[in-house]
Amino acid sequence: MHVEGLAQDTLCIHAGQAADEVSGAVMVPISLSSTFAQDGPGRHKGYDYSRAGNPTRTALESCLAHLEGGKHGIAFGSGCAATSAVLFSLKSGDHVLVGDDVYGGTFRIFDSVLKSWGLDATFLDMSDPGAVRAAIRPNTRLLWLETPSNPKLKIFDIAAIAEIAHEAGVPLAVDNTFATPMLQRPLDLGAKLVVHSTTKYLNGHSDVVGGAVITSDDAIADRLHFLQKSLGAVPSPFDCYMVLRGLKTLGVRMKQHVHNALIIARFLESHAQVERVFYPGLASHTGHAIAARQMKGPGGMISFDLKGGLSAATAFLKALRIFTCAESLGGVESLAEHPAIMTHASVPPETRRALGIGDGFLRLSVGVEDIEDLKQDLERGFHAARNLV
């Protein structure tokens, strides 16, 4: 099917997913073969060994590329593997500017893995594009940011930072996991690379671990394909099939995530036990205007400061019945977690304090359940926390 010009909701279902030529199967088959027959040495039908390429993976990569408005999709076995592959394209002595608020696993790769290999990273608040321009060094080779960021939900101006990166001759990579291409397309705003943990919203059902990078730059894509094959951190055909299956409902899921999250954010903002809410859909959010400009919706993630500190936060999380206390995000089910202890434990305490990730700081992944049930569940948590204050 010719998919150019089709809307995002249609691309989710059809991009890269033509009916199987052999059987006519409407759903992309799971190609489990590890090797492929060749007519002669080097004469194959596009696949020789499944680490280098697989038909099911190709379908996923094509769908993701179309959704992000890119030419090339490169799938990996996890979001961390996708991040690592981008960084493996650099060399010892190179410098990377990184947004100060990033997923704990991403921070760990920069701070505890590649630092020992000679990769230098500077973490800074990219809310001020002028500070980004001033921080670029002669050896800066990459700018990396998340927006909305994890877990403070910071909003960075992609177009402004992309222009600075372009002037410096440095590619900009944007982790678009929280927004998804349904709400934000960084390549359209000037970024060179988009990175995803497909584990999250793209799959949407908390049953797959995966990652991907999308780009329209042929040289970058060639390098990433080489690293994908050489490092071998590739997703299984079954995992690719599962993400494709989840993608088909991405559009309708994101609409419900946004709908529920906005109601929950307003509910939290008016609650006496909440000190502050971080959600770009609220006018009180410092990045609200930028989010309204570069996003089609503020997303399904909310963070907030609960009064009462660690004891209150622990009681709150333990009392929940619909929100599950668990790491990860982006599934149809609602999750709640304590970043300082869970997803961002690898970030040094002093860094967490500087970012405002304290003992009462909680993060919600708002699912697609009935909104009244979700509000009542949060009240159950507040009631338990109130008894400790």
Q: Which residues are catalytic?
A: 51, 103, 175, 200
Distance (Å, rounded) from C-alpha 4 to C-alpha 177?
Answer: 24
Cβ atoms of 78 and 234 closer than 8 Å: no
Q: What angle do CA 72, 74, 76 make, to 5 degrees?
A: 170
Cβ atoms of 360 and 268 closer than 8 Å: no
b/e 101-121 (16+ beta carbons within 10 angstroms → b): bbbbbbbbbbbeebeeeebbb
Consecutive H or E run containing 6: none
254 DSSP 8-state letter? H
Distance (Å, rounded) from C-alpha 226 to C-alpha 72?
Answer: 13
Q: Report residue 56 CA to chain centroid gap.
A: 22
Distance (Å, rounded) from C-alpha 288 to C-alpha 70?
Answer: 27
CA atoms within 13 A on the CB side of 240: 30
Residue 331's SS3 state is: coil
Distance (Å, rounded) from C-alpha 190 to C-alpha 199?
Answer: 25
